[in-house]
Amino acid sequence: MLTEIPTARPSTPILDSLNGGGKVRDLSETALLELCNELRAFLLYSVGKTGGHFGAGMGVIELTVALHHVLDTPQDRIVWDVGHQTYPHKILTGRMEKMSTIRQSKGLSGFPKRSESIYDTFGVGHSSTSISSAMGMALGNKHRGSDRRVIAIIGDGAITGGMAFEALAHAGDQRPDMLVILNDNQMSIGHNRGGLATYFAKIWASKTYISLREGSKKLLKRIKPAWDLAKLTEEHMKGMVAPGTLFEELGWHYIGPLDGHDLPQLMQTIDNMSKLKGPQILHIRTVKGKGFQAAEDDPVGYHAMNKIEVLPKPSPSKKDSGTKPPKYSDVFGEWLCEAAEKDPRLVAITPAMCEGSGMVKFANKYPKQYYDVAIAEQHAVTLAAGLACEGLKPVVAIYSTFLQRGYDQLIHDVAIQNLDVTFAIDRAGLVGQDGPTHHGVFDLAYLRCIPNIVIGAPSDENICRQMLFSCYRYEGPAAVRYPRGSGIGVVIKDVIEECKIGHAEVVREGNNTAILSFGTILSEALIAGDKTDATVVDMKWVKPLDTELIKEIAKNHEKIVTIEDGSIAGGAGSAVNEELNRAGIISRVINLGVPDQFIDHAVQEEQYVICGIDSESIISTINGFEKTVSDNQSSHGSVSKFPNIK
């Protein structure tokens, strides 16, 4: 058991001898057991150097080694669900020396990525996709006449996603040859039922039992009453000792639960089950953070970690300059508790993001008003709609990238019926090292086209609190989107003031150029405004826009630059263009934001530069405005000239 994060590179002779996943197949059982120890130590060391996810990866060390030993990878397909658990897979498949670059610009992705390695058979960032994609591969094999094996690994709560159950049901009907390994780290599925469950699982996974089972099918199916009785008896036995009856009813052959850290048993079972015809489920139990004491004791806190910095000792003459600004998620969490104290109608909903969304305090203080629906974003939105129908005031706390999964429900179940639901949208904009699967850059574009909805984009933590208050009071669909991480350090007022919906604010008066800023990118806009003597407007609301102020700005400024940390196509800047066009105002406008491409993982500051929304890029855009307009294009944005349509 490791009790400390290694600061020096651990000795890993077996791991060093591997040059990709193929050689794992040639190792003896003794060598494989030692490989697990080396892999665990190296993973902890490498993540200590770079930061990143490691708790789930520590829990699947034995599983990863077993898969690459038993299977003919990459010919056989391994499909991972929830990319957090794939660091050991990356290390074993030729990327060990690149682990120092993980989640950095031009380095390894923190998730499986098809363009990164032939061993990454399917890209993943959102959960519950593995069974569907693996089923597609299995059916593709059938069409092509291939006998390659397909294994999906789903876990870390992903089995709670509705998409996973849709795939389970469809596969039960189509009966593709595939194996699903349910990695149960005891954080999402029921408690272990003791030694009896493991004993029966060993029997059910044995070649003898499988042979008897398949032979009995052929014999007893000829005598229907006897077959019905035998099938019922088997299901009742399994129902007493393992949670497999549901899967069996859906048409899957279920084995488990097995100890996911028992490498010899795991290898034998995977080898047996992956050769069977039809859909198979192997249920294993693992410990998240296995092998590192602190992570085993606190699997939530050690889901991921920052890199270990060697900090200089503080000078005794220097005092702390002040407290760190609160995270936006904490601002939301505090507001939620304040609002619930004043309004008993408030109910809060989260799709398995309690800690990340800052809701722990609320969940403990108001348990009867709190609903964690697991990884089920569609259900979360429609549940809120149903609650609103009964006069309650639901608040849905959700990450921007995950709200995409509940988009139809937002339109069909909330907006069309104009129901009173407030959406607190966390992780909006560019999120940094988690990359394109987790960026929240499309929300402004996909939300503002929906009738009835109000959309706020606060520029700091105090305005965020005010907007939450205003949107909660608004009787209809309303959304406040805010970024990952800490605020800028403004004073959060004790008394919440209303942030008047649809009203912007001029925060700096300048000369011929105006910068219309949406969201927390305002800090970059102000730096650029100071250096170019531009007027800067904190737009605050994306819908409804402050149309009167926009028209006034257009009449008094020769050039307008809109800036947002979201998609240019259809975003807030596009809304400004549309309003000027609607008003028949001819203006020279450049829209800055996220271009029409997926932005790779990097630190957020680097991503701002890539998109041209950092202060220096804004200054360059303003200084080069004349040339940009004459060329009618910009490397960072789009230029719009509006015809005077009457």
User: Which residues are marked as active site?
Assistant: 288, 377, 405
Rounded CA separation 411/376 (Å): 17
CA-to-CA dists, residue 487 to 195, 481, 505, angstroms:
50, 13, 19
Q: 14 with 58: CB under 8 angstroms?
A: no
Rounded CA separation 355/362 (Å): 11
Beta strand spans in 101-205 (E) = 150-155, 178-184
Sequence-ordered list of residues with C-beta below 8 angstroms from that of 211, at least 6 positions apart, any chain: none
Beta strand spans in 445-495 (E) = 454-456, 478-483
- How many helices (H) does the chain have, and how many strands (E)? 26, 20
How many CB atoms sit inside 10 A of residue 228's CB? 12
Rounded CA separation 506/516 (Å): 9
Q: 27 with 226: CB under 8 angstroms?
A: no
How many CB atoms sit inside 10 A of residue 34's CB? 16
Instruction: Dig out the tokens for 71 from the structure.
Output: 């299977």
| Residues paired with 499 in a beta bridge | none
- Treating both helix axes as pointing N-terminal to C-terminal, what angle do 547-556 and 572-583 enclose, rounded to 10 degrees? 70
What is the bridge-based pairing of β-strands 304-305 and 52-53? Answer: antiparallel
Rounded CA separation 478/543 (Å): 10
Does the bond joining 544 to the residue before it have cis omega, within 30 degrees of 0?
A: yes
Rounded CA separation 462/482 (Å): 12
SS3 of residue 420 by DSSP? coil
CA-to-CA dists, residue 413 to 378, 385, 444, 484, 606, angstroms:
10, 6, 19, 28, 39
Rounded CA separation 281/270 (Å): 10
Q: 596: exposed, middle or buried (C-beta count within 10 Å: 0-12, 13-18, 19+)?
A: exposed
Q: 58 with 44: CB under 8 angstroms?
A: yes
The number of residues making up the chain comes to: 646
What is the bridge-based pairing of β-strands 346-350 and 393-399? Answer: parallel
CA-to-CA dists, residue 562 to 81, 241, 535, 553, angstroms:
38, 62, 12, 12
How many CB atoms sit inside 10 A of residue 332's CB? 27
How many CB atoms sit inside 10 A of residue 94's CB? 16
Rounded CA separation 561/609 (Å): 17
Helices (H), 158-223: 162-174, 195-205, 207-220
Rounded CA separation 355/112 (Å): 24
